[in-house]
Amino acid sequence: MGKVIAIEHLTLDGVMQAPGHPEEDPRDGFRHGGWASLRQDPVMQEVMGARMSSAWALLAGRTTYERFAAFWPKQEANPFTEALNRVEKYVASSTLAEPLPWENSFLLKGDVTDAVAALKEELPENLVVFGSGVLVRALMARGLVDELVLLIHPLVLGEGRRLFSGSESEELELVDSVATTAGVIVATYRPETRG
């Protein structure tokens, strides 16, 4: 049985919107896109690479899937590109239809939390989520996220979509942490009720 592992870039005030590049996600008038790209370093790449080196599958919401599918297949060969193109990708969307454009992509059917709960039982590998805030919040509400890997950047934006809406109440256990050379804290948490 696999686990659901959510890997999220966050600012100190909890914003997760558009970490990669300036035009990534301008919803709600967000104008600070690309904030995480300034702090990439070898330590962060090592942490991310470790999550992508063992058996895993990608779980993504529609917005993240569309952005990844438009970007990664067009990149030069490198370990991240090869890993993302190779793995099976499970997509939560009520608007997309199969066939999905990126190789090894499958659309989840029915209620997304039911579909993910079934996948956790069926698949031996972990389901790794990058971004996909709406999806992650739905999975957390149902108790389906087994691990949060939070890359916390030394930055306060004051606006933007947040991972935690403020209505959640859950105790988390810190199981690992490391500081990068760029001042990012990579903190791994698990819900205290699960081992």
What is the mean pLDDT of the segment spanning 60-66? Answer: 95
- Per-residue model confidence as pLDDT tens digits over 67-104: 999 999 998 888 788 889 999 999 999 999 999 999 99
Among 36-45, 47-56, 141-150, the minimum mean pLDDT is found in 47-56
pLDDT recorded at residue 62? 95
Through-space distance between the first and last CA atoms of the chain, rounded to whole angstroms = 14
* 3.40.430.10, 3.20.20.70, 3.40.309.10, 3.40.50.2300: CATH of 4-191: 3.40.430.10
- Residue of higher predicted confidence among 195 and 181: 181
Residue 195 has pLDDT above 60, yes or no: no
Structural domain boundaries in the chain? 4-191
Residue 65 has pLDDT above 80, yes or no: yes
- Per-residue model confidence as pLDDT tens digits over 13-27: 999 999 988 888 899
Residue 5 has pLDDT above 60, yes or no: yes
Q: How remote is the C-alpha of 85 from its chain's centroid?
A: 16
What is the mean pLDDT of the segment spanning 138-155? Answer: 95
d(C-alpha 17, C-alpha 33), whole Å: 7
What is the mean pLDDT of the segment spanning 102-123? Answer: 96
What is the mean pLDDT of the segment spanning 43-52? Answer: 77
pLDDT recorded at residue 46? 82
Name which of 37, 148, 59 is nearest 105 in CA terms.
Answer: 59
Residue pointed to by tokens 């916390």: 152
pLDDT recorded at residue 50? 74
Residue 165 has pLDDT above 80, yes or no: no
Residue 52 has pLDDT above 90, yes or no: no
pLDDT band at 119 (very low <50, low <70, confident <90, very high): very high
C-beta of residue 93 within 8 angstroms of C-beta of residue 65: yes
pLDDT band at 170 (very low <50, low <70, confident <90, very high): confident
Mean of per-residue pLDDT scores for the chain: 91
Name which of 52, 187, 26, 29 is nearest 130 in CA terms.
Answer: 52
